[in-house]
Amino acid sequence: MKKFLWILGTLILLGAVSIFLVEKWLVKTLPDRMNANEDRAYDIRFENADVRLFRGSIELKDISVHPVKDSMATTITGTMQSVRLGELKMLSFIFGDVLDIGELKFEGPKFILVRNDSISKKPADVSMAFQDFFGDIVSRGVIHNFILENGSGEFFTQSDTLRKFGSFDSFNITAVDLETDSVRLNYAIPFKLESIQSGLKNLQINIDKELTFTLGEFNYDSKADSFDFFDLKLAYDDSNLAAAKRARFQRDYIEIDLKHLKIEKISARSSIYGDWSVVAGLMTIDSLILHDVRNKNKPRPYDEPEKPMFEGMVELIPFPLELDTVRVLNSTITYSQISEGKSQPGSLNFEQLSALITRVVSLDSLQSGEMLIHGEAVLNGFAPMRMDVTVPYGMGANEERFHLEASVDPFGLPSLNGILGDLVSVNINSGRMEKLEITMDANPKYSSNFMKFHYSDLKLELRDEEEKKKKLMSTLSNILISNNNLPENRNYRTATFRTERNIYRGTFNLIWESLREGMLEIAPGDVMQLLLNEQDPADKGRRR
């Protein structure tokens, strides 16, 4: 019995020593085995390792990841609290060359991304760098599940100096049932898998010295086929109004505040890594506030390119986009203009905005048929309006077309003074708009328009530059015009007219100019049209 116990004890001791030696050997050889691939882009280094042979797990402590080459357009370095290799097949790990890991888990990684501006400045390089990074890490073995918890990161550009331009935190990834021998570029983990969930919070990107983009939260769920973006903001350090006032040239200064953007029914052809592309059934834009400011006291740059119309605006999207439907809810768009000689802006506010847009395709080779736009809004709080636009695809940049039909519900005409005040030398004392309808067929040079403008009890007065009333001319003006323009009136008028397009202003400027010109053609008589007509500057409308 004693001999048996002695043999058993010896075997146990030898087993314990063997396990201890094997674990020590694994710790010693692990760095070389993890970094054995000659084509790897990154080295994984660690200070301590805890090997649990019987539990089939290895936990690495104080990890750092470093790029092997310095010549990449974008490189990532990282540190992690711990990396856990769980459900590890120890026998194949000890006697073979392949890591077979049930679960690879990163805890608390901190990433530093450096973009070399002398090589590339493309925004897609940032997302592609993370995809390459995770692809490089995960490809070092047969890894069935990958988890990353509570990651954070900072973005830098390297030119003459190192400059920080962004950051994020609360970065999480859960990838299930990976197939590391089957490449798929759509996900952060670029391999075929059963499902993936990922998200991050507090993304901040400094677009330039005074403009910053922030994203409160991003979530992706492959099973739900949906992206969710919360609290997107594009804002100037002080305001876009202040930026427009101190700018050297006149241009659009835009700020955006968007509560929720959701993309659903995502096709497998979509990718947000590398060469971005989004192919989906539905995009919902909820609670958008967009503010555009233009300061007409500033000169327009004479090398400014021509502005596109609807089709051209979609084609300007810098990556392939194919959406069956775009839905806009609960939104507000404001255009503010500081007129020449003024210091404070007047504004057009499109409130309670909703829209439904079908067939949004940015890639010319995929465009066919028509894009349809239906929108409804309330103008400056007093005029409910609706608009339907048909945009045929395939026209080309110099042959763009669109057909528009718009209408405005009844409202009191003096409400227009707040909009027209800086644009015309007239004040509306009384009147009611009963119907306003316009039809437009537009091309890059002009729009052919037909308008109905029904009004009653219209009374006007003229103003000079000092806002003083010219009583005599106001009396004359009201004699020269009809106070009513209704179908039952003998002098009932409609307007068939053409509006020249200012190619240096956007599509909505053409719509507004057409509305304004039609109203002025119907309401005043011939003398009033001469009094109120504005002439373009001698630079062919560049400064309008």
Last residue of one domain, picked from the residues 206, 237, 264: 206
The 10s digit of each residue's pLDDT in 67-106 is 887 767 788 888 888 888 777 676 666 666 667 778 888 8
Task: Take residue 510 and report the two structure tokens written for it.
Answer: 């053409």
Does residue 288 belong to any structural domain of this protein?
no
The domain in which residue 429 lies consists of: 424-502+521-532
Higher pLDDT, residue 165 or 187: 165
Q: Per-residue pLDDT for 28 more than 70?
A: no
Last residue of one domain, picked from the residues 170, 189, 206: 206
Does residue 40 belong to any structural domain of this protein?
yes
Higher pLDDT, residue 318 or 410: 410
Last residue of one domain, picked from the residues 178, 206, 234: 206
Does residue 497 belong to any structural domain of this protein?
yes
The 10s digit of each residue's pLDDT in 412-429 is 988 877 766 555 566 788
C-alpha–C-alpha distance, residues 71 and 120, integer Å: 11
Total of domains in the chain: 2
Kindly state the average pLDDT of the residues 425-440: 86
Does residue 281 belong to any structural domain of this protein?
no
Residue 301 · residue 251 · CB < 8 Å: yes
C-alpha–C-alpha distance, residues 221 and 199, integer Å: 9
Does residue 194 belong to any structural domain of this protein?
yes
**Out of 36-40, 153-157, 281-285, least confident range:** 36-40
pLDDT of amino acid 527: 44
pLDDT of amino acid 192: 73
Does residue 233 belong to any structural domain of this protein?
no
C-alpha–C-alpha distance, residues 207 and 165, integer Å: 8
The 10s digit of each residue's pLDDT in 151-164 is 999 988 877 677 88
Residue 192 · residue 138 · CB < 8 Å: no
Q: Is the CA virtual torsion 179, 181, 182, 183 positive or negative?
A: positive
**Out of 60-69, 111-120, 305-314, least confident range:** 111-120
Kindly state the average pLDDT of the residues 456-485: 62
C-alpha–C-alpha distance, residues 403 and 507, integer Å: 12
Does residue 365 belong to any structural domain of this protein?
no
pLDDT of amino acid 134: 79
Q: Per-residue pLDDT for 299 more than 60?
A: yes
Determine the length of the chain: 544
Q: How many CB atoms lie within 10 A of CB 498?
A: 12
C-alpha–C-alpha distance, residues 195 and 127, integer Å: 20
pLDDT of amino acid 271: 66
Residue 350 · residue 328 · CB < 8 Å: no
C-alpha–C-alpha distance, residues 59 and 195, integer Å: 25
* 245-251-256 Cα angle (round to 5): 85
Q: Per-residue pLDDT for 437 more than 80?
A: yes
Q: How many CB atoms lie within 10 A of CB 162?
A: 9
C-alpha–C-alpha distance, residues 437 and 455, integer Å: 12
pLDDT of amino acid 480: 53
Kindly state the average pLDDT of the residues 116-145: 71
Q: Per-residue pLDDT for 169 more than 60?
A: yes
What separation, in Å, do the N-terminal and C-terminal C-alpha atoms of the chain show? Answer: 107
Does residue 440 belong to any structural domain of this protein?
yes
pLDDT of amino acid 216: 96
Share of the chain above pLDDT 70, in %: 75
C-alpha–C-alpha distance, residues 66 and 486, integer Å: 77
